[in-house]
Structures are given as structure tokens and as C-alpha cells.
Amino acid sequence: MARGDAPQDSYHLVGISFFILGLGTLLPWNFFITAIPYFQGRLAGDNSTAETLSTNHTGTGSADAFNFNNWMTLLSQLPLLLFTLLNSFLYQCIPETVRILGSLLAILLLFALTAALVKVDMSPGTFFSITMASVWLINSFSAVLQGSLFGQLGTMPSTYSTLFLSGQGLAGISAALAMLLSMASGVDAQTSALGYFITPCVGILMSIVCYLSLPHLEFAQYYLGKKPSQARAHELETKTELLPADEKNGIPNNPQKAALTLDLDSEKEPEPEPEEPQKPGKPSVLVVLRKIWLMALCLVLVFTVTLSVFPAITAMVTSSTSPGKWSRFFNPICCFLLFNIMDCLGRSLTSYFLWPDEDSRLLPLLVCLRFLFVPLFMLCHVPRRSRLPILFPQDAYFIVFMLLFAVSNGYLVSLTMCLAPRQVLPHEREVAGALMTFFLALGLSCGASLSFLFKALL
């Protein structure tokens, strides 16, 4: 929490701003993957009807020829891995305001281009090339934006990180709901698609307004524009808050606690001797990696499974019922909306319990069991397959698989991210967090790459 002499967050404006900024960081990815029927329709070459968001063209020969789902997933995740590797160099060379505001403006312009293309007739090949370039650029700017905002959150009370992550969790649900509203609006196909792609533009505009408002809010000024001495005091305060939690989690106390208490006492001049335990030296990446390697491996495997079938395979599943309203809304509801809701639920469960713990052999087992979802989804009702049979034709199978798939993804991702910092010393947590972020991006990229193979096996 904030220190006693810190200003109050009036009307929770800073918290709301970071919530909306979190929403803005993942809106691009979610709006692209949810609009897969629109893109596949355009790539099918039927420009008179392809713009509709409600028609599922998955399985047609021309749509499959582009492997749109796979390329979009891969080109969305590679920028995250790339900028995770380059973040130290990039963040030192480019000012924070330029990174954040520039990324938001670039994403806004690129999404406006995507919306404008709804009204432009062009060949499928040209449309595919432009769309893939937009996907790469948008997700590159999103990676820079997300990393920069996480850096700002490092100076804020922990509550604001939670609000930011909650906003990211809402992005997927917002995209799915926007898709359903576009489909149910009753307007013509082009207007429906245009309205759908304008929605994230509004979200990005709101994010820009929120970011521009932060320097004018006293609470944000205190944390984001503080002097080095103030930053040091806040760092000590944050570490003091973490120490009781460490004791509760079974990590033994160390001499830092007494030193931190002395540093936070503004009435007294800090003695030089207590400062020594607070400067343990620069953490070694290899030492930290040895401590958290199992959590990092679990995180890679969880995202590898998830991105290998979602959305490349799951978006191809159609309802086995006769054509009607249910078959029309089946994939947007049972694939995208259901996944995002249950994923958010799974992530929130770690607020109540952390099971299994970091020393249990059950965690790697649960992570490995998720590989069963790959054949299960591949054997669902995907039309126009040439190799594998359909063993689970009923819609209920796909819904049950998706429920378990999404909940386990959210819970295991959140669990591994929570357990990793508990395995290192307090001064090593920053390095542990950076390593886990890298392995998160690595898992996403591995899953996106594997999606080509699994789709070819259908």
C-alpha cells in the first residue's frame, strides 16, 4: 500500500487508468483472433459476402491455402519474444513516454487501416500480405507497450498491477462480446465488420487519454515522477511488505528486515552498518535460473499446448447441429467467449489457494497432462479433414474440453508465475520475473509454431 505521506488516489482515477491501459495492451491480439471468420471469408475471395463476421469459412480450400490462423498466431507471438530479448537495449535508448504514447498511436493507426480495408476490394493474396504485416507491426508495438507499462507499475503499489492484469483479462471477453453484438446487430455484412474493428480503436483512444491524464494526477505524479530518494523509500517499503508474506510461505527471515525498518524511519539518520545486508550484489541469472527452472519449464509447456491448438484448431470446430442460430453463434460463444471467461476464472483461483506447491511432483504431471487436449480438439467436429477421423462429433464434447482447457491454462499460468518468486531471495525476484516473462514468450512462440504441424495432420 501507499506510504502514510503519499497522496490519495482521488476517485480511483489512477487505478481506472491502469485498468484501461491493461485492456488496451491485449485488445489488438484478441480482436484479430476473434475475427478469424471475417479474415478467412476475405481470403476465400468472395468479397460480396466475405466481410460478414458471422459466416464460418473455415475448411474451404482457398482459406486453408493461406493457413491464416497459424500465421496470425505465429506473427503475433514472435514480436513478444523478440522484444523481450531486446527490452534492455530498447528501453535504455528510447524515453518511456515515447515508447508508450508512440506505441498507442501506432496501434490506433494500424487498426484504423484494418477497419478501412473492410470497404476496399482486393485480391486475397494482397489482403493476406497487408493483414500479416499489420499483425506483425501491431503486436510489435503491443510488446513494447506492455513491457513499458509493466516498468511503470514497478514503482506503483502492488494493487495497481492487479488492476492492470484484470484489464488484460477483460480484453478477450470484450472482443468476444463485440463479435456477438456485431453478428446479432442485423445490419449488412460490411457495416457489421466495420463496427467491429472500430471498437478497438475506441479502446485505444481511451488508453491514450488515460495515459495523458496520469501526469496531471497527484497520486501518479508521486509514484511515477518521484526523485531517487523517494524511489528508494518506496522500494524499501515494498520489500518490508513482502517480508511477512515470505515468512508465511515458509521462507526463513534474514537480517534485512531490521535494516529495512531502520531505513523507513524518517526520524532517524540511517547508520552505515545496517545498509550492508541490503546490498547483496547483482543477482546471477544462472543462479536464479537454477532455482526456478522447473516453474519456467512448466510455463513454457502450458503455453505451448495452448497456442498449438488455440485458435488454429479450435476456431475450425463447427457445430454438428443443422444450420441455424446455434450453429451460427457456436464458435464465437463456445470457442472465444468461453475460453476467455474460464481463463480469467482460472487465473483468479490463485488468489484463494496455491496448489500444488513448488515442491510437489504433481505440478509437472498436471502440466504434461494438458498435452491430451491436442488430440482431443483435433478429433472434434472439424469439417474437410483428410487424415484423422471425427471421434467427438457432438457439441457437448467440445464445450467440456474447452472448459477444462481454459481453466487449466489460466490456473497453471498464474500458479507458476506466483510460485517462481517464492523460490528465490528477495533481491533476486526482479531477475526471476524477467526470466519468467521470457519463458512465457518462448512458450507462446513454440505453440504458434507447432500449430502448423497439428493443422497439417488433420
| pLDDT, position 292 | 92
Cα dihedral 272, 277, 283, 284, rounded to 10, equals: 120
pLDDT higher than 80, residue 387: yes
- Mean predicted confidence (pLDDT) in 303-308: 96
Half-sphere exposure of 169 (CA within 13 A, CB side): 21
**pLDDT tens digits, one per residue of 148-183:** 888 788 778 878 887 888 888 889 999 999 889 888
Backbone conformation region of residue 52, classed left if phi is above 0, alpha if psi is from -120 to 50, else beta: beta
How far apart are the C-alpha atoms of 267 and 281, rounded to whole Å? 28
**End-to-end CA, the chain:** 52
In CATH, 10-228 is 1.10.357: no
| pLDDT, position 46 | 54
Report the percent of the chain where pLDDT is more than 90.
42
Q: Could you tell me the pLDDT band of residue 116, with boundaries at 50, 70 and 90?
A: very high
How far apart are the C-alpha atoms of 296 and 227, rounded to whole Å? 35
Q: Could you tell me the pLDDT band of residue 55, with boundaries at 50, 70 and 90?
A: low
Q: What is the DSSP letter of 336?
A: I
Q: Could you tell me the pLDDT band of residue 389, with boundaries at 50, 70 and 90?
A: very high
Top-confidence residue, 368 or 88: 368
- Mean predicted confidence (pLDDT) in 410-431: 87
How far apart are the C-alpha atoms of 132 and 61, rounded to whole Å? 19
Q: Which CATH number applies to 276-458: 1.20.58, 1.20.1250, 1.10.3470, 1.10.10? A: 1.20.1250
Q: Is the dihedral of CA 138, 140, 144, 150 positive or negative?
A: positive
- Mean predicted confidence (pLDDT) in 56-74: 65
Provide the 3-class DSSP secondary structure of residue 269: coil
From residue 229, give the alpha-carbon distance in Å to each of 25, 173, 235, 374, 446. Answer: 31, 41, 10, 52, 43
Which parts of 185-266 fold into alpha helices (H)?
Answer: 189-213, 218-224, 228-248, 256-264
Same fold, 10-228 and 276-458: yes
Top-confidence residue, 297 or 232: 297
The predicted model scores a pTM of: 0.78
Q: Which residue has the cell 513478444?
A: 80
Q: What is the DSSP letter of 332?
A: I
* Domain locations along the chain: 10-228, 276-458
Provide the 3-class DSSP secondary structure of residue 254: coil
pLDDT higher than 50, residue 51: no
pLDDT higher than 60, residue 53: no
Q: Which of 290, 287, 115, 94 is nearest to 196 (CA)?
A: 115
Q: Could you tell me the pLDDT band of residue 45, with boundaries at 50, 70 and 90?
A: low
**pLDDT tens digits, one per residue of 188-237:** 777 888 889 999 999 999 999 999 999 999 998 888 875 434 444 444 44
How far apart are the C-alpha atoms of 39 and 254, rounded to whole Å? 57
| pLDDT, position 63 | 42
Top-confidence residue, 253 or 154: 154
**pLDDT tens digits, one per residue of 351-378:** 888 899 888 889 999 999 999 999 999 9
From residue 174, give the alpha-carbon distance in Å to each of 55, 169, 203. Answer: 20, 9, 10
From residue 395, give the alpha-carbon distance in Å to each of 282, 314, 333, 335, 401. Answer: 54, 12, 12, 11, 10
- Mean predicted confidence (pLDDT) in 99-121: 93
pLDDT, the chain, mean: 82
| pLDDT, position 348 | 86
Top-confidence residue, 235 or 456: 456
